[in-house]
Structure 1
Amino acid sequence: MEIVILFVALGVMLVLGAPVAVALAGSALLYILTSSPVPPLIVAHRMINGVDSFPLLAVPFFILAGNLMNTAGITERIFKFALAVVGWLRGGLGHVNVGASVIFAGMSGAAVADAGGLGAIEIKAMRDAGYDDEFSVGITAASSTIGPIIPPSLPMVIYGVVAGVSIGQLFAAGFIPGLIMAVSLMMLVAFIAWRRNYPRDQAFQLSVLWYSFHKAFLSLLTPVIIVGGILTGAFTPTEAAVAACAYALFLGLFVYRTLTLRRFLRVSFDTIETTAVVLMVVGAAAIFAWVLTANRVPELMAGMLLSASDRPWVILLLINLILLIVGMFMETVAAITITVPVLLPVALELGIDPVHFGVILVLNLMIGLLTPPVGMVLYVLARVANIRFERAVVGTAPFIVPLAAVLMLITFVPAVTMWLPTLIYR
């Protein structure tokens, strides 16, 4: 029963507003001091081991690549190209929002980067065109969750490290579900646009499409280089992240000439700050997960779930429910590093491929970014749009429905997720 100290301490620290990394490492240290013969120095060793991983090198480089693309004006060119492609549909800017997120997903791999970078451009354009703020923020928030599903994906890098799964296979597994998410969101946009009689934002013109494609061509090559390089085996995910940074620097410094030394320094400091936060959480979660494993909590949890029903689909629903609740209250990286040691053994017992389970887990946690009380994407977009957080929640709620439908599809139809990695890697 000493393990109760761990969870009580974690809950108290989070309620008191302690940073997630401090709460995770602090609760683990308190447990070791009060209930374990293990020396406290093990906390430092386990935290260092948690971040001592070659695949984790991809994290700062993908963060830097996303920041460089936002600063160098690449996201704005992508938005204008998406506007020329689908802006002629009724409710066109809603469709543009989704299309731009799909393209940007192949560059940054982070929902918050998508929301913060494209979101500012998209919400301003939709507001100027007369769309209400709730709809604008809602579709921007929902479409940003595509970023961590379509490769590259920072959460999948973290999952791959924790679960010991091929990151290349995880990236391949997320490609088709990400496109299905985009189609489902566009279908809801079309329905809302029909119900509210939203206008067509611009007439389709081949000359405008060609001009915007010409202006954005080099930017559009970025996801081709990253995703193509990973799927063909030319790059490892870490090497692809470095290549993305190098290409973004090339475009910003020499082609578009929008990246000044002052901007580059600001981007670098932002990247260092974000990376430090992510790796602190990973390290703290590593010691927390070690304490759970040492006390056989994953085995106990697996036994409880497997004894709840003899029907696999019921257990899968329970796992999804657990992940959705965790995603509502916990930051994505911490949630991955804590839940994987507990829930992955259950998934393996059910015969679920760990690659398939990784996509299920990440999509659950992305939906959690759209729900209070944490809802990081909602906080970002509420600040970008300068509206109350409650209005952002109301506007986003309808768009959770198609995302939940896609979650059920990939949960119970494994071929949707596993077809591409099986074709490429197996």
Structure 2
Amino acid sequence: MTSLVILLFISFIVILMLGFPVAYSLGISSFIYLVLSGIDLFAIPQKMYAGMDSFVLLCIPGFVLAGNLMNVGGITQKIVDFGNHLFGHIRGGLGYANIGSSMIFAGISGTAIADTASVGGIMIPAMKKSGYDSEYSCAITAASSTIGPIIPPSVPMIIAGTLTGISVGRLFIAGLIPGILVGFFQFFVNWYMSKKNNYPKGEKKSLREVLSSFKTAFWAVLMTIIILYGILGGIFTPTEAAIVAILYALIVGMFIYKEIKLNMIPKLIVDSARSSASILILVGFANVFAWILASEQIPQMIANSMLELTSNKIMMIILINLLLLIVGMFMETISAIVILFPVLLAVTRSFGIPDIQFAVMAVLNLIIGLVTPPIGVCLFVASKIGGISLARISRAIVPFLIANILVLLLVSFFAPITMWLPSLM
């Protein structure tokens, strides 16, 4: 490893510690390397554009805008209301409704933080009002948000596929079974915790009320079905699915639920553009950084170093899982994927692990990191909504973390969970 590469890493870490966003830390450290190595600085815009010039990346602003339209248009509220009518009479019913809402919401938003903020804004106050502990209400909301980036569509999987050439459509399909497993394992945790703490039952709704709630939520649920069936059935690509989601959310929000007004749309577009731009700038600078690493053969060096540690496939999978779980606690998911995924992919390929299986494993690892103390981002979001300390939610999240890690182990060591559905394509 040359002195310039060492300087590249040191400058990246120092700039990051100074509080700069990851995107700018990658860009500035790459700039320093190029200046000192005498490489033409035109390489920066060229490599940035090459990284962002992908048809698949168009679905990121699409799904971000669709999620914003869905929140403002009342679709999230209708999903949660239906879950409450369906499960509310069971002990811990609001917990089941919380998880179930996240599973439906996952088919639209594609991000864990969006799920925590949107569903949490409705469910956490409702659970506290019904007699649930504040920490449990926040913990189950944060934990269920991990389903969002696993069940398609998934922004992290879009990034992983774009960086490595893996089919995004196949990645979406591969995440379906693991996402459902996460949901069902969390159902079990909620059942156990509700029984242990004697959480309340709600009033049982009549069949007429349940059907009425479903009728109201029908258009919201149908949106998820259209997106999933469209992608799984090969009717449209992930990018086309994002456009369909925007049009659908707009029509439902404006003409059926009538909660979106014309004067709200410009602000929604601007907010979505800002969120999308931050992701795309990160991808662009990361491509410059990755190009430097590739030219210096750093991925091969890291892969060889890891292979020297052990030649045992099981031990290597455990090491990679531990690395990604730790990184996921401290680094934003997309940033971690951009930096680590191509490097670790070289290692897993040498052990014969399918690319799609590793991609789902990596995304699930990093998403679990978002709800892992001490600095899981989703924990901060949920604790802020619930008005409790991070220490309280950190204790309550432990059973859900155990459930998530059990699913992670299944995904890591049992390939058919991720490979069966893609093999049918």
- What TM-score, normalized by structure 1, do the two folds share? 0.97
- Counterpart CA distance in 2 for 1:162 and 1:400 is 29
Paired residues, number: 423
Aligned equivalents of 2:378 and 2:42: distance in 1? 36
Residues 358-389 of structure 1, C-alpha deviations (whole Å, 9 max, x = no match): 10010011011113454221222222223333
Matched, 1:357 2:344: no
* Whole-angstrom distance in 2 between the partners of 1:329 and 1:225: 35
Amino acid at match of 1:178: G
Measured in 1, the distance between the counterparts of 2:93 and 2:173 equals 29
Q: Percent identity?
A: 44
Matched with 1:266 is: 267
Query: In 2, Cα distance between the equivalents of 1:362 and 1:28?
Result: 26
Q: Deviations over 1:227-267 (max 9, x none)?
A: 10001110100000000000000001111110012332222
Name the residue aligned to 1:408: 409
Q: Deviations over 1:211-234 (max 9, x none)?
A: 111111111100111010001110
> Structure 1, residues 26-48: CA drift from partner, whole Å, max 9, x if none?
111112222x2322221221111
Q: Does 1:15 align with 2:43?
A: no
In the other structure, the counterpart of 2:111 is 110
Where does residue 120 of structure 1 map in the other structure? 121
5 Å-filtered alignment, 1:28-39, equals 28-34=30-36, 36-39=37-40
For the 8 Å contact 1:137–1:392, the answer to whether it is kept is yes
| Aligned: 1:58 with 2:54 | no
Letter in 1 for 2:308: S
Query: Take 1:269 and 1:88, find their aligned partners in 2: how far apart are those partners?
Result: 41
> How far apart are the structure 2 equivalents of 1:325 and 1:313?
19
Q: Secondary structure at the match of 1:89?
A: coil
Task: Give the corresponding residue for 1:286.
Answer: 287
| Helix, strand or coil at the partner of 1:145 | helix
Cα gap change, 1:411/1:311 in structure 2, threshold over 3 Å: closer, same or farther? same
The one-letter code matched in structure 1 to 2:318 is L
Q: Which residue of structure 2 lines up, in the alignment, with residue 196 of structure 1?
A: 197
Runs of 5+ consecutive residues of structure 2 not aligned to the other structure:
none
Name the structure 2 match of 1:166. 167
Rounded Cα–Cα distance in structure 1 between residues aligned with 2:9 and 2:387: 36
- The range that moved more, 111-120 or 371-380, is 371-380
Contact 2:130 2:200 (8 Å CA) reproduced: no
Superposed displacement of residue 110, structure 1: 1.0
Tell me the TM-score normalized by structure 2. 0.97
> How far did 1:280 drift?
1.2
Distance 2:375 2:168 in 1: 27
Alpha-carbon separation, structure 2, partners of 1:138 and 1:266 = 31
AA of the residue aligned to 1:260: K
User: What are the residue-to-residue correspondences of 1:237-248 with 2, within 5 Å?
Assistant: 237-248=238-249
Code of the aligned partner of 1:319: I
Counterpart secondary structure, 2:147: coil
Supply the distance in 2 between the matched residues of 1:134 and 1:394 (Cα, whole angstroms). Answer: 8
Q: Partners of 1:312 and 1:13 in 2: how far apart?
A: 36
Q: Is the 8 A contact 1:293 1:341 kept in 2?
A: no
Q: 1:25-74 CA distances to partner (integer Å, 9 max, x unpaired)?
A: 1111112222x232222122111111111000000000000111011000
Structure 1 window deviating more from structure 2 (262-271 vs 228-237): it is 262-271
Which residue is equivalent to 2:217? 216
For structure 1, the residue ranges without an aligned partner over 5 or more in a row are none
Distance 1:397 1:269 in 2: 38
Q: Which amino acid aligns with 1:166?
A: S
Contact 2:282 2:335 in 1 (8 A): yes
Amino acid in the other structure paired with 1:280: I
Aligned pairs (5 A) from 1:287-326: 287-326=288-327
Q: Work out the CA distance in 2 between the residues paired with 1:70 and 1:214.
A: 19
